[in-house]
């Protein structure tokens, strides 16, 4: 059973005080992807929340970073992390806002929190001068893909992964 999201969520800039809760959500993101494909995505460990929070904490004051949280009261129920990036010749892409993370607490999904965070992140990336926004989503994450499509995203690349066989197995 889902817990009602009351009061209505507010989206604001992430702060250092939010990092422990953000780290827990980030570990959930890692574990969800690992469950989709354990060969492609690494598993979360006991230290994942701390390490992920440490990395995201290092990004808070960066001028080209958009790092937002959705909160109800003092509870962080989701976050979005994106960066304004220049040309990327490996991705054959010009300048863009790159949305790296969007996570909503599973108890709060299906209530518009992801859309609220995405719209705020898109607005801020546009305000930073992003001419476009790109993101990556796990192939099996159809729920997220539906949200992104409703917000106007289109498929442009498909990542393919192949494990390198052990030389002895050849």
CA–CA gap between residue 95 and residue 21 (Å, rounded): 31
Domain coordinates in residue numbering, the chain = 10-154
- Say if CB 123 and CB 114 are below 8 A apart: no
Predicted confidence band of residue 7 (pLDDT cuts 50, 70, 90): confident
In this predicted structure, what is the pLDDT of residue 170?
60
Fold classification of 10-154 is Aminopeptidase (3.40.630)
Chain segment 66-107, per-residue pLDDT in tens: 999 999 999 999 999 999 999 999 999 999 999 999 999 999
In this predicted structure, what is the pLDDT of residue 8?
86
Tell me which residue has tokens 């494909």.
37
Helix, strand or coil, per DSSP, at residue 33: helix
pTM of the model: 0.92
Q: Where are the beta strands (DSSP E) in the chain?
A: 10-13, 65-72, 75-85, 96-104, 133-135
Chain segment 108-167, per-residue pLDDT in tens: 999 999 999 999 999 999 999 999 999 999 999 999 999 999 999 999 999 999 999 887
């Amino acid at each position: 059973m889902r817990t009602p999201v009351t009061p209505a969520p507010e989206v604001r800039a992430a702060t250092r005080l939010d990092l422990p809760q953000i780290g827990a959500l980030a570990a959930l993101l890692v574990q969800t992807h690992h469950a989709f494909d354990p060969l492609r995505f690494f598993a979360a460990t006991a230290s994942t929340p701390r390490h992920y929070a440490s990395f995201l904490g290092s990004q808070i004051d960066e001028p080209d970073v958009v790092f937002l949280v959705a909160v109800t009261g003092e509870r962080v129920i989701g976050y979005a992390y994106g960066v304004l990036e220049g040309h990327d010749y490996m991705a054959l892409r010009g300048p863009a806002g790159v949305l790296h993370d969007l996570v909503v607490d599973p108890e709060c999904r299906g209530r518009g929190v992801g859309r609220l965070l995405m719209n705020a992140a898109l607005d801020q990336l546009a305000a930073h001068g992003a001419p476009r926004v790109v993101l990556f989503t796990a192939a099996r994450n159809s729920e997220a893909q539906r949200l992104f499509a409703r917000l106007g995203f289109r498929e442009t690349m498909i990542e393919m992964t192949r494990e390198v066989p052990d030389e002895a197995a050849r």
